Amino acid sequence: MGPIPEVTMSRQPVIFLSHGAPPLIDDPVWTAELSAWGRSLPRPEAILMISAHWEAAPAAVSATRTLPLVYDFYNFPARYYTMQYPAPGAPTLAAKTRARLTAAGLPTTDDPSRGLDHGTYVPLMYLFPKADVPVLQLSLPTLSAAPLYKLGQALAPLRDEGVLIIGSGFMTHNLRLGFGAAPPSWAVEFDRYAAEALAQGDDDKVIDLMTKAPGAALAHPRVEHLAPLWVAAGAAQGEAPPKTAVEGFWMGGFSKRSVQWG
């Protein structure tokens, strides 16, 4: 018998996606867009998700076994609280993530009781509907752009180990002023500026979105939904500019813009 061929893992892309609230599941257009995107992706060994809905310092690694989902939303119809996404836990990825961050001088901790929140399972229900890929969440240890970009850089080598890194937020997110019949000017202007910065591959512009982009203060009164973009951009450093996978607006002023590097 000849030598056993070496098994190599394909380099995984990096994603920033606008994840929507639970009512996303009732939007046939957006769910179809996410489903089509998922079918185009290479199957990863595991998924590392950085969601806008988990802030904890230092960077915390979620449970490494399947736990009940975190229904971190309020006053929605009862059926939204019955959604299920029983993805396998990812203990191997947890160990690799800790090692990468430690090597970069970034402290970590564990939260073994933390299940997946809706910033993770709502989009994954359509990207990977079989729920058969191990999923791990990593918290946002800060909301500052430059440190989050550095965090992404530290995670980048995981891509060569079959790990799909996803930053899950929203390109515009104003729960007070964002709802309406048409996108407000501040949302359109911010979205357009961000799209141009990404298309140019200009990471400095991406890092400086909150200080340079028009409409930034209204597009993100608080930046937790933009923060995962900075992690994703850091993990994708050196890649060609990303392609847009989903665009347009939802419920008025919420930009669905989602992009893929690699």
The enclosing domain of 46 has a CATH number of 3.40.830.10
Residue 61 lies in a domain: yes
Residue 28 lies in a domain: yes
Whole-angstrom distance, CA of residue 165 vs CA of residue 59: 15
Domain count, the chain: 1
Whole-angstrom distance, CA of residue 186 vs CA of residue 260: 24
SS3 246: strand
Average pLDDT over residues 20-46: 94
- pLDDT for 6 beyond 60: no
Residue 2 lies in a domain: no
Residue 58 lies in a domain: yes
- pLDDT for 182 beyond 60: yes
Q: How confident is the model at residue 9 (pLDDT cuts 50, 70, 90)?
A: low
User: Mean pLDDT of all residues in the chain?
Assistant: 95
Average pLDDT over residues 23-33: 93
Whether the CB-CB separation of 193 and 202 falls below 8 Å is answered with no
Q: What is the pLDDT of residue 22?
A: 87
Q: How confident is the model at residue 23 (pLDDT cuts 50, 70, 90)?
A: confident
Q: What is the pLDDT of residue 7?
A: 37
Residue 3 lies in a domain: no
Q: What is the pLDDT of residue 74?
A: 79
What kind and span of H or E run contains 97?
helix 91-103
Whole-angstrom distance, CA of residue 158 vs CA of residue 164: 8
DSSP 257: -
Whole-angstrom distance, CA of residue 135 vs CA of residue 142: 22
- pLDDT for 4 beyond 50: no
pLDDT tens digit string along 98-113?
999 999 999 999 999 9
Backbone angles phi, psi at 250, to 5 degrees: -125, 130
Q: What is the pLDDT of residue 57?
A: 98
Average pLDDT over residues 64-89: 92
pLDDT tens digit string along 122-147?
999 999 999 999 999 999 999 999 99
Residue 7 lies in a domain: no
Domain extent, residue 210, equals: 14-261
- pLDDT for 221 beyond 70: yes
What kind and span of H or E run contains 251?
none
Q: What is the pLDDT of residue 21?
A: 85
Name the residue among 56, 237, 201, 39 with its Cα closest to residue 137: 56
The vertex-262 CA angle with 202 and 142, nearest 5°, equals: 60
DSSP 225: G
Residue 54 lies in a domain: yes
Residue 167 lies in a domain: yes
- pLDDT for 246 beyond 50: yes
Q: What is the pLDDT of residue 5?
A: 34
DSSP 241: P
Among left, alpha and beta (phi > 0; psi -120 to 50; other), residue 105 is: left
Q: What is the pLDDT of residue 75?
A: 80
Please, what's the b/e burial string for 166-181 (b: 16 or more CB within 10 A of its CB; e: otherwise)? bbbbbbbbbeeebeee
